[in-house]
């Protein structure tokens, strides 16, 4: 027989492969290839069952030649729901042994060759593709469904089968396959949640930056990222902290965050600029860690996060830098935008700016296109989203006095 016992280093590498392979796009494919090398005369495959029915085959390492084509044809028929199946073999197997998560089972422990070959399942499904006895470990189970890594004896291959070695390999990897499958499942769910969540915060039209109580940036939406990248209003220092462009206002921002941390209630901060006031609303983003385990709380403590929204006051001019960052306008375009919001006509804007009316109208058209509207009325409505912070700001100030700004 060609099978052999793995030394410690080889066993360690195989266990590592289990975890790596669980994260592959075609989960377990690399592991199947390695098991094929370690277990001559066997066909490794990942198979899913629902009660006594075979419902899916995933990664596999097939023999060469016509047999591989026949196995693939059968798999396609299975997945298309066109493969007739008898359930006598699996029903009998379930009556004689229990299927536990991480348990390694072998049909050789349950059936003799003669009994295995007497089942309709064997005659109609297994024998036509050369499948014989198998050894398997169930690495995932949910209600009636179970997924297994299987080493199936290839009856069409004359290579002597070392079933003890096959079982020893599955005994070795069984607990790791269970853990790796769980890790992969959690990571997949986390990725999906992250993508969904990211889509949610990107749908927020206002600039939004999420920080901890020390102003360390944790995440931001698309508009918030533009503000950080441009650095005209807010930016980040080398340690990843959010900073204001006017350093004299840093103390006020820190005070606002301290109040939000102490009260876990929204807080407001108003900053005057040359072209209009900027309102900053700081609101708890995830005020508690109730969704975490007790161990997480003990290890990490409380780590409150805050969503920082930036916008404009309810009436009056909108800060030019805010317009530039949110709608990706040039400086001149933001000036045009401010003039339009104040009710000035293209002719008046052209006269005061000492530019031709045609040039101004071209700039107005560029503004409308960037904002995604077709008229100055629609422009005013679109820009009103920046003024929604005013309502949050007023509510926040109601929780306490607005922080005094340093002189």
Confirm if 48 and 42 have CB atoms less than 8 A apart: no
CB under 8 Å to 137, separation ≥6 — which residues? 102, 103, 104, 105, 148, 149, 170, 173, 174, 177
- Which of 188, 216, 235 corresponds to the end of one domain? 188
Q: How many domains does the chain fold into?
A: 2
Q: What is the pLDDT of residue 312?
A: 86
pLDDT at 191 over 50: yes
340 in a structural domain: yes
H/E segment holding residue 6? none
Instruction: Please compute the mean of the pLDDT values over residues 341-354 and round it to a whole number.
Output: 89
Q: What is the mean pLDDT of the chain?
A: 84
* Shared-domain flag, residues 235 and 384: yes
* Shared-domain flag, residues 49 and 134: yes
* Shared-domain flag, residues 368 and 325: yes
* Shared-domain flag, residues 145 and 233: no
pLDDT at 98 over 70: yes
325 in a structural domain: yes
Distance of CA 109 to the CA centre of its chain: 43
Instruction: Please compute the mean of the pLDDT values over residues 340-361 and round it to a whole number.
Output: 90
Q: What is the pLDDT of residue 402?
A: 47
Q: What is the pLDDT of residue 299?
A: 38
pLDDT at 35 over 90: yes
Q: Which residue has the higher pLDDT, 304 or 332?
A: 332
Q: Return the number of other C-beta atoms located less than 10 Å from residue 8's C-beta.
A: 7
* CATH classification of the domain holding 166: 3.30.450.40
pLDDT at 158 over 70: yes
Q: What is the pLDDT of residue 124?
A: 94
* Shared-domain flag, residues 234 and 350: yes
Q: Read off the pLDDT band of 193 (50, 70, 90).
A: low
pLDDT in tens, 376-391: 888 888 887 788 777 6
193 in a structural domain: no
* Shared-domain flag, residues 222 and 183: no
Confirm if 376 and 384 have CB atoms less than 8 A apart: no
Of 160, 154, 129, 163, give the one whose Cα is nearest residue 54. 129
Q: What is the pLDDT of residue 342?
A: 86
Q: What is the pLDDT of residue 401?
A: 46
221 in a structural domain: yes
Instruction: Please compute the mean of the pLDDT values over residues 73-95 and round it to a whole number.
Output: 92
* Shared-domain flag, residues 245 and 360: yes
Domain ranges, residue 113: 8-188
pLDDT in tens, 202-237: 556 788 898 888 888 888 888 899 999 988 889 999
Instruction: Please compute the mean of the pLDDT values over residues 154-177 and round it to a whole number.
Output: 93
* Shared-domain flag, residues 372 and 226: yes
Q: Read off the pLDDT band of 161 (50, 70, 90).
A: very high
pTM of the model: 0.52
* CATH classification of the domain holding 315: 3.30.450.20
Q: Read off the pLDDT band of 242 (50, 70, 90).
A: very high
pLDDT in tens, 258-310: 888 888 788 888 888 887 788 898 888 754 434 444 433 433 445 678 889 89
* Shared-domain flag, residues 278 and 156: no
Q: What is the pLDDT of residue 396?
A: 58
* Shared-domain flag, residues 138 and 226: no
Of 71, 139, 131, 73, give the one whose Cα is nearest residue 103. 139
Of 13-22, 65-74, 203-212, 284-293, give the lowest mean pLDDT range.
Answer: 284-293
Q: What is the pLDDT of residue 198?
A: 55
Helix (H, G, I), strand (E, B) or coil at 381: helix
Share above pLDDT 70 across residues of the chain, in percent, rounded to a whole number: 85
pLDDT in tens, 110-130: 999 999 999 999 999 999 999
* Shared-domain flag, residues 285 and 234: yes
Per the listing, tokens 């052999």 go with: 4
Interatomic CA distance for residues 308 and 273, integer angstroms = 18
């Amino acid at each position: 027989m060609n099978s052999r016992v793995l030394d410690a280093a080889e066993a360690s590498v195989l266990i590592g492969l289990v975890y790596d392979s669980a994260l592959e796009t075609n989960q377990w494919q690399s592991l199947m290839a390695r098991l094929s090398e370690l277990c001559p005369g066997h066909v490794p495959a990942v198979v899913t069952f629902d009660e006594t029915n075979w419902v899916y085959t995933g990664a596999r390492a097939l023999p060469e030649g016509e047999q591989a084509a026949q196995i693939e044809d059968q798999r396609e028929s299975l997945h298309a729901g066109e493969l007739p199946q008898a359930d006598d073999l699996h029903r009998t197997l379930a009556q004689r042994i229990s299927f536990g998560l991480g348990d390694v089972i072998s049909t050789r422990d349950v059936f003799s060759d003669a009994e295995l070959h007497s089942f309709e399942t064997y005659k109609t499904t297994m024998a036509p593709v050369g499948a014989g006895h198998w050894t398997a470990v169930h690495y995932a189970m949910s209600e009636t469904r179970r997924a297994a890594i299987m080493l199936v004896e290839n009856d069409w291959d004359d290579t002597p089968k070392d079933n003890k070695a096959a079982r020893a390999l599955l005994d070795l990897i069984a607990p790791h396959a269970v853990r790796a499958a769980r890790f992969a499942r959690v990571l997949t769910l986390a990725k999906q949640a992250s993508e969904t969540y990211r889509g949610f915060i990107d749908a927020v039209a206002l600039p939004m930056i999420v920080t901890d109580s020390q102003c360390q940036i944790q995440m931001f939406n698309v508009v918030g990222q533009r503000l950080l990248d441009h650095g005209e209003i807010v930016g980040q220092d080398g340690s990843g902290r959010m900073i204001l462009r006017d350093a004299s206002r840093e103390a006020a921002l820190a005070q606002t965050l301290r109040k939000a941390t102490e009260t876990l209630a929204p807080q407001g901060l108003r900053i005057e600029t040359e072209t209009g006031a900027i309102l900053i609303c700081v609101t708890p983003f995830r005020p508690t860690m109730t969704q975490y385990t007790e161990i997480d709380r003990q290890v990490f403590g409380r780590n409150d996060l805050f969503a920082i929204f930036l916008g404009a006051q309810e009436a009056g001019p909108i800060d030019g830098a805010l317009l530039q960052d949110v709608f990706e306008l040039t400086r001149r375009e933001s000036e045009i935008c401010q003039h339009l919001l104040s009710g000035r006509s293209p002719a008046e804007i052209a006269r005061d700016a000492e530019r031709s009316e045609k040039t101004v109208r071209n700039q107005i058209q560029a503004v409308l296109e960037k904002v995604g509207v077709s008229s100055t009325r629609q422009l005013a409505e679109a820009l009103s989203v920046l003024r929604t912070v005013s309502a949050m700001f007023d509510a926040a100030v109601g929780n306490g006095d607005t922080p005094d700004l340093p002189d």
